[in-house]
Amino acid sequence: MLRHEFQPGRLVAGLFLTATGVVFAGDAGGLWETPWFAVVPLIVGGLCLAGATATVARGIRRRGGTESG
C-alpha cells in the first residue's frame, strides 16, 4: 500500500540534481575537469523536464478521474 501519491516530476528533478552533484563531486575529487557554468544547463534543463513531466502526469490523472463519474 502506497503511503503517498507518486509524483514523477519530483523524481526527474531529483535525478538531475543528483547528477549535478555527481558531476561536481567528480570535479572536486580530481577525476575530471568541469567548468563552473556546466550547472546551468543541468539544473535548468532538469527543472524544465520535471515541469513537463509533472504537467503530463497531472493531465493523465485528471483525464482518468473524469471517466469514472
* Residue 1 located in a structural domain: no
The answer to whether the CB of 51 falls within 8 A of the CB of 9 is yes
Average pLDDT of the residues in 42-68: 88
* CA 24/CA 65 separation, integer angstroms: 42
Q: Which domain holds residue 46?
A: 8-64
Q: What is the pLDDT of residue 64?
A: 72
* Residue 3 located in a structural domain: no
- Count how many domains the chain has: 1
Higher-pLDDT residue of 64, 29: 29
Q: pLDDT at residue 68 above 60?
A: no
* Residue 41 located in a structural domain: yes
* Residue 57 located in a structural domain: yes
* Residue 24 located in a structural domain: yes
* Residue 19 located in a structural domain: yes
* Residue 69 located in a structural domain: no
